[in-house]
């Protein structure tokens, strides 16, 4: 007989009844090959004595085992493991064949073995991130108030049902109104798809635009998750230089003459990672080339809302009269990263197809959350939030750059950004950023090590140093720790 006293462990504090625990233990013994088909199970009296429970509890466990098709009762003989079950080779104990532990349990296609995962900012105390908003400024109380209010109302219960894959009609109308007032973009709600952040928009657009071996033009320095998305779809990246005026459109024109390019991915407003802004001359030429060569412009405008000096240039989408631009924006990156709300704008047929594709991976977003955001747009709360946060972020940018210049200019070269939430800092070539990040961590400061910004064409010794998420006293502390680490 098997050592059931040690094999069947019961937790009397568990919410799971004892007879179900016993039943589940037998299922485990059968499914891992310890008990083979037709094996005789101990009598109810014997098992009850062995594991210290009432005999009736064992009877209930056996009845459950039989009802689930794992065992059978033979009159005057006992309870047996069902004979029709397949024979399972008993699992080898760890250490008997160590080489087996190196094998995958099944074959699959791992395209992400070298992927760099983002930093976990939820557990870190003091962090210089790469440019995120301060979640402490987020109008979370107002948002949750509207969320609860909508949920409690009779009409709000309808939002708990399946809705449109395009997202809340109310939020799409609110975003359309906001885009017209702030960015000069005239768009119908039907041309808007609500996404879970800009990254989903990039993914959906890539699926529709690109196929195996298709060419897409991107910056020499570029948002690495966009690059990885294009590569995942089998596309080939055509690297275009980026200078102080943004993507080099003259260089792009020469590339267009040599090969067919299906799309151009561009961040004209605060390019990632370098924060430069594309000149108006280049924007107009890019639109002209798009019309001539019939390629799509994938415009990622992730932080348009934050500009501190002059009024920002209008997006390409606002001056595109031939529907070449697919415009991707984010509420997530301007309010709070974990509140996954973004949007994608494009021709009606393209947006309809993107909505159908979205249904394959994510039926819809959180409609109640989308409705709550729509109310905040409508009642002016979002506008008040942007005004308050822009004022705070400008003060933080000025202080951050002042301290950088005063205390770290021997090690770091940078330009004061006109907008956005981060400074692009070029470190002295003698500084190893990986080791710097390790030393900073020992000082209680979390910073990136620069690997996220590198690609096959771009390996500058630089970091995006986010200032927006730090209060003034935190900026002083963080940069003091960075100086010590340097």
Please report, for the domain that includes residue 434, its CATH number: 3.90.1150.10
Identify whether residues 322 and 452 lie together within a single domain.
Answer: no
Q: Is residue 95 part of a domain?
A: no
Residue 440: burial class (beta carbons within 10 Å; 0-12, 13-18, 19+): buried
Instruction: List b or e across 202-224, with b for residues whose CB sees 16 or more CB atoms inside 10 angstroms.
Output: bbbbbbbbbeeebbbbbbbbbbb
Identify whether residues 372 and 446 lie together within a single domain.
Answer: no
Identify whether residues 74 and 173 lie together within a single domain.
Answer: no
Considering its fold, how many domains does the chain have in total?
Answer: 3
Domain boundary among 81, 111, 127: 81
Residue-number span of the structural domain to which 53 is assigned: 4-81
Q: Is residue 105 part of a domain?
A: no
What is the spatial distance between Cα 196 and Cα 115, in angstroms, rounded to a whole number?
A: 21
Residue 310 pLDDT exceeds 90: no
What is the spatial distance between Cα 231 and Cα 237, in angstroms, rounded to a whole number?
A: 7
Average of per-residue pLDDT across 216-238: 95
Average of per-residue pLDDT across 268-273: 93
Contact 31, 66 (CB under 8 A): no
Residue 111 pLDDT exceeds 80: no
What is the spatial distance between Cα 486 and Cα 478, in angstroms, rounded to a whole number?
A: 12
Residue 93 pLDDT exceeds 80: no
Contact 29, 7 (CB under 8 A): yes
Identify whether residues 265 and 365 lie together within a single domain.
Answer: yes
Give long-range contacts, CB 8 A cutoff, 24+ apart: 119-122.
119/446, 119/448, 121/337, 121/446
Give residue 403's pLDDT. Answer: 96
What is the spatial distance between Cα 316 and Cα 324, in angstroms, rounded to a whole number?
A: 10
What is the spatial distance between Cα 367 and Cα 364, in angstroms, rounded to a whole number?
A: 8
Q: Is residue 283 part of a domain?
A: yes
- Return the minimum-mean-pLDDT range out of 224-233, 279-288, 358-367: 358-367
The pLDDT-based confidence of 92 (bands split at 50, 70, 90) is: low
Identify whether residues 420 and 346 lie together within a single domain.
Answer: no
Identify whether residues 273 and 353 lie together within a single domain.
Answer: yes
Q: Is residue 437 part of a domain?
A: yes
Q: What percent of the chain shows pLDDT beyond 70?
A: 95
Contact 137, 388 (CB under 8 A): yes
Domain boundary among 34, 53, 81: 81
Identify whether residues 235 and 272 lie together within a single domain.
Answer: yes
Give residue 420's pLDDT. Answer: 92
Q: Is residue 89 part of a domain?
A: no
The pLDDT-based confidence of 154 (bands split at 50, 70, 90) is: confident
Instruction: List b or e across 441-457, with b for residues whose CB sees 16 or more CB atoms inside 10 angstroms.
Output: eebebbbbbbebbbbee
Task: Say if strands 71-74 and 78-81 run parallel, antiparallel, or are unpaired.
Answer: antiparallel
Q: Is residue 448 part of a domain?
A: yes
Phi, psi at residue 441, to the nearest 5°? -60, -40
Query: Do you know the residue count of the chain?
Result: 486
Domain boundary among 321, 356, 381: 381
Contact 259, 215 (CB under 8 A): yes
Identify whether residues 195 and 327 lie together within a single domain.
Answer: yes
Q: Is residue 143 part of a domain?
A: no
Identify whether residues 333 and 413 lie together within a single domain.
Answer: no
Task: Tell me the torsion sign for CA atoms 48, 53, 59, 64.
Answer: negative
Identify whether residues 368 and 293 lie together within a single domain.
Answer: yes
CATH of the domain at 35: 1.10.10.10
CATH of the domain at 170: 3.40.640.10
What is the spatial distance between Cα 128 and Cα 450, in angstroms, rounded to a whole number?
A: 13
Residue 91 pLDDT exceeds 70: no
Identify whether residues 325 and 432 lie together within a single domain.
Answer: no
What is the spatial distance between Cα 446 and Cα 266, in angstroms, rounded to a whole number?
A: 29
Question: What string of H, E and C letters represents the secondary structure of 249-282?
Answer: HHHHHHHHHHCCCCEEEECCCCCCCCCCCCCHHH
The pLDDT-based confidence of 96 (bands split at 50, 70, 90) is: very low
Identify whether residues 466 and 363 lie together within a single domain.
Answer: no
Write out the H or E segment, with its range, that includes residue 296: strand 296-301
What is the spatial distance between Cα 262 and Cα 246, in angstroms, rounded to a whole number?
A: 20
Give residue 101's pLDDT. Answer: 54
**194 forms bridges with which residues in the sheet?**
343
Q: Which distant-in-sequence residues (6+ apart) come within 8 Å of 149 by Cβ?
A: 156
Residue 97 pLDDT exceeds 60: no
Q: Which two tokens stand for residue 220?
A: 């020499």
Contact 209, 263 (CB under 8 A): yes
Average of per-residue pLDDT across 240-256: 97
Closest CA to 78 of 52, 57, 47, 54: 47
DSSP-derived 3-state class of residue 385? helix
Closest CA to 299 of 290, 307, 308: 290
Give residue 102's pLDDT. Answer: 62
Q: Is residue 20 part of a domain?
A: yes
What is the spatial distance between Cα 191 and Cα 348, in angstroms, rounded to a whole number?
A: 5
What is the spatial distance between Cα 144 and Cα 358, in angstroms, rounded to a whole number?
A: 26
């Amino acid at each position: 007989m098997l050592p059931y006293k040690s094999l069947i462990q019961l937790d009397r504090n568990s919410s799971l009844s004892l007879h179900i625990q016993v039943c589940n233990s037998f299922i485990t013994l059968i499914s891992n090959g310890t008990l083979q088909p037709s094996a005789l199970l101990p009598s109810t009296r014997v098992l009850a004595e062995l594991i210290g429970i009432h005999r009736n509890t064992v009877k209930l466990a056996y009845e459950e085992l039989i009802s689930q098709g794992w065992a059978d009762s033979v009159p005057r003989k006992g309870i047996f493991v069902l004979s029709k079950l397949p024979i399972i080779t008993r699992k080898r104990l760890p250490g008997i064949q160590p080489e087996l532990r190196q094998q995958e349990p099944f074959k699959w296609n791992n395209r992400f073995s070298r992927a760099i995962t983002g930093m976990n900012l939820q557990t870190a105390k003091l962090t210089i991130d790469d440019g995120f908003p301060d979640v402490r400024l987020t109008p979370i109380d107002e948002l949750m108030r509207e969320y609860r209010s909508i949920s409690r109302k009779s009409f709000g219960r309808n939002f708990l049902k399946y809705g449109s894959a395009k997202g809340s009609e109310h939020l799409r109308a609110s975003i359309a109104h906001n885009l017209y007032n702030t960015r000069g973009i005239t768009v119908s709600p039907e041309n808007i798809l609500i996404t879970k952040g800009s990254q989903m928009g990039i993914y959906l657009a890539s699926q529709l635009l690109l196929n195996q071996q298709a060419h897409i033009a991107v910056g020499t320095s570029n948002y690495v998750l966009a690059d990885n998305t294009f590569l995942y779809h089998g596309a080939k990246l055509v690297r275009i230089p980026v200078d102080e005026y943004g993507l080099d459109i003259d260089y792009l024109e020469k590339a267009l003459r040599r090969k067919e390019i299906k799309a151009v991915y561009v961040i004209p407003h605060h390019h990632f990672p370098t924060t430069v802004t594309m000149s108006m001359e280049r924007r107009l030429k890019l639109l002209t080339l798009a019309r001539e060569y019939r390629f799509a412009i994938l415009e990622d405008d992730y932080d348009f809302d934050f500009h501190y000096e002059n009024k920002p240039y209008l997006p390409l989408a606002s001056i595109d009269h031939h529907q070449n631009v697919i415009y991707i924006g984010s509420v997530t990156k301007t309010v709070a990263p974990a509140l996954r709300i973004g949007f994608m704008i494009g021709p009606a047929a393209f947006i309809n197809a993107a909505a159908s594709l979205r249904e394959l991976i994510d039926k819809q977003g959180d409609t109640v959350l989308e409705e709550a955001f729509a109310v905040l747009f409508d009642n002016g709360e979002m506008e008040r939030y942007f005004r308050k946060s822009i004022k705070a972020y400008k003060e933080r940018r000025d202080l951050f750059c002042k301290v950088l210049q005063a205390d770290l200019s021997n090690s770091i070269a940078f330009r004061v950004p006109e907008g956005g939430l981060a400074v692009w800092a070029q470190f002295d070539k003698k500084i190893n950023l990986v080791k710097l990040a390790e030393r900073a961590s020992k000082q209680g400061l979390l910073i990136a090590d620069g690997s996220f910004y590198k690609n096959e064409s771009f390996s500058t010794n630089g970091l995006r140093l986010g200032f927006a998420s730090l209060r003034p006293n935190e900026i002083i502390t963080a940069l003091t720790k960075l100086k010590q680490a340097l």
